A and B are shown apart, each in its own frame.
Chain A
Amino acid sequence: MIRLFVASSMTDYMEQVASEHSSTQAGAATELNIAGSGTLLTQLDEGAIADLVILAGRDHTRRLQEMGSFLSPIEFASTSLSVIVSPALSNANLSIRDLRAGDLQGAACVVSAPCGQLADEFATATGLEMRSVTREPNVRSVLAKVERGEVDFGFVYRTDFLAAATDIAEIKDSGAEAFNTFYSLAVARDTPNMAQAVVLAESITSQYGQTRLRQLGFEHP
């Protein structure tokens, strides 16, 4: 049983990879633990055991490395920030200046999540006030609130925007595409499943894996 710890924005991709791996590699069942990268790190800190970890954000990756129980992380994908607006505003042609006015309700991830960190960096760079923005536990929750129109705008990953089936719109030329999050994978040292975990890691970084990631909107760093 390979224990996979997966950052929530990689959920769709890793579920596919894991099920393919289980069906092709005899006996190598997988078990997915999906959470925000910050939560995953907390769990590992408190003694949780993982064979393969996939994290978003370079800060998190560094903290994982400092734990010492993993092989060198490999950066294998990236995605950029995207500022989206609710379906009701999708035809309003809003710009960042409109958000700065302050009468629209926004949503972003909590600061401990890479998507939240990116949003804060972006806000600082563009002079956007984040004080009345609600901080959601993860990027999916931000997306859901924008999709339902509970908030007017939100900070999500480009990949989430592309995957969304609803009428939300992206603010064009916001400059958010310059703010990237990098995904890394790391294999745990000295676990009985290390060999299996390495095979799985290779299939993620392989040409085939990269093609699949691009189809989902991720980029190669």
Chain B
Amino acid sequence: MRAPLPLRVRLVALVALVFIAAPLLSLLWRVPWPRLVDLLASDVVTDALLLSLVTSLAAAVVALSLGIPLALSLARMNGFVASFVRAVIVLPMILPPVVGGAALLFAFGRNGLVGSVVSDLTGLVVPYTLTGVIVANTFVALPFVVLTIEGALRAIDPRFELAAATLGANEARVIFRVVLPMVRPALIAGGFLGWARALGEFGATITFAGNIQGKTQTLPLAVFVALETDREAALAMSVVLISVSLLVLVSLRDRWWPVR
């Protein structure tokens, strides 16, 4: 037990909580609940739902497969190099997503540094495609994945790696049989956080992948458009987004360790 907090502290805490919860509750207040199912069944909404599901899951998978090696490398760096690399990785987390989207355009856009080469060679164009949405989502999800996993990796006693090596495990076996299984909760948490972030991604997507219904119009984009055309549909979609995010966060307690 800790000592009880002073009344003033508790009051301010309550204000802070209300400040965060009130807008969300007000939104829920406005939702036309009886018509929710009908609203969610409309073409625009089902298109966006499906697209969001596919792209955010794909982004989570890509972010994990790119993020795990990056986190492993980062966890072995020290000093200035580590700080610098970590700062670069965190950038997409705190940059306005629109800036991120613009940066993606300059890199992978038709006339971008990478994109122009790719499209000359293969004819592939990333922006305004499903792939573009996944790229934008991965861009914003990756920092969450990397930081979550890196933190867990750093908390592991390096002697576990020594122990595995003395048992004849080579570098790959140490990573795949010891290190990664030991951070499994962080892998899952990172994956889910990345997924939730990708699901809510707006700025980078609309800037980089555009807003094409059934092709690149994800739920947040559909909400944005519907806010001015079909308010009730926008609210219905918001409910979906809020519920999913809340579900992810609440279930993201340290539940994945096999041991009590």
Give Cα A33 to B105, complex, Å: 28
A39 contacts B214, C-beta separation under 8 Å:
no
Asked if A134 contacts B227 (CB within 8 A), the reply is no
B220 within 8 A of A: no
CB distance from B104 to the nearest CB of A (A): 11
Picked from A105, A135, A149, A150, the residue with its CB within 8 Å of the CB of B225 is A135
Instruction: Given A110-B225, A110-B228, A137-B224, verify A151-B214 contact (CB < 8 Å).
Output: no
- With a cutoff of 8 Å between Cβ atoms, the chain B residues found around residue A110 in the complex are 211, 225, 228-229
User: Is A42 an interface residue, CB under 8 A from the partner?
Assistant: yes
Within 8 A of B (CB), among A135-190: 135-137, 148-151
A53 at the interface (CB under 8 A from B): no
Would you call A41 an interface residue if the criterion is a C-beta within 8 Å of the partner chain's C-beta atoms? yes
B111 contacts A148, C-beta separation under 8 Å: yes
Tell yes or no: B93 within 8 A of A by CB. no
- In the bound complex, how far is the Cα of B212 from the Cα of A135, in angstroms? 6
Q: Give B29 Cβ to nearest chain A Cβ, in Å.
A: 14
**Nearest CB in chain B to that of A108: its residue:** B211
Q: Which residue of A lies closest to B209 (CB)?
A: A134
A150-B110, A150-B111 are known contacts. Are A135 and B211 too (CB-CB below 8 A)? yes
Question: Is the C-beta of B128 less than 8 angstroms from some C-beta in chain A?
Answer: yes
Does residue A90 face the partner (Cβ distance < 8 Å to B)? Answer: no
How many residues on A have C-beta within 8 angstroms of the other chain's C-beta atoms?
21
Contact A131 B214 (CB under 8 A): yes
**Least CB separation from B208: chain A residue:** A150
With a CB–CB cut-off of 8 A, which chain B residues contact A131?
212-214
Interface string of B179-214 (1 = CB under 8 A from A): 000000000000000000000000000100011111
- Given contact pairs A132-B215, A149-B110, A150-B110, A112 touches B210 in the complex (Cβ within 8 A): no
Q: Which residues of B contact A41 (CB under 8 A)?
A: 228
Closest to B206 in A: A137
| Beta-carbon contact of B210 and A136 below 8 Å | yes
Closest residue of A by beta carbon distance from B229: A112
User: Would you call A111 an interface residue if the criterion is a C-beta within 8 Å of the partner chain's C-beta atoms?
Assistant: yes
Q: Does A107 contact B (CB under 8 A)?
A: yes
How far is it, in angstroms, between the C-alpha of A171 and the C-alpha of B212 when the chains are bound?
A: 23
Within 8 Å of chain A (Cβ to Cβ): is B97? no
Shortest CB distance A46–B (Å): 10
Asked whether B216 is an interface residue with its Cβ less than 8 Å from the other chain, the reply is yes
Establish whether residues A150 and B212, one from each chain, have CB atoms under 8 Å apart when the complex forms. no
Residue numbers in B under 8 Å from A107 (CB-CB)? 210
Closest to B230 in A: A112
Contact call A112/B228, Cβ cutoff below 8 A: yes
User: Is A38 part of the binding interface, using a Cβ–Cβ cutoff of 8 Å?
Assistant: yes
- The 7 residue pairs across chains A and B that have the minimum distance between CB atoms: A134-B210, A38-B228, A112-B228, A135-B211, A112-B229, A134-B212, A110-B225
Given contacts A132-B128, A135-B217, 9 further A-B pairs with CB under 8 A are A36-B228, A110-B228, A111-B225, A112-B228, A135-B210, A135-B213, A136-B210, A136-B211, A149-B111
Can you show 26 pairs from A to B with CB atoms below 8 A apart?
A: A36-B228, A38-B229, A41-B228, A42-B228, A107-B210, A110-B211, A112-B225, A131-B212, A131-B214, A132-B128, A132-B212, A133-B212, A134-B128, A134-B210, A134-B211, A135-B210, A135-B213, A135-B217, A135-B225, A136-B211, A137-B206, A148-B111, A149-B111, A150-B109, A151-B128, A151-B210
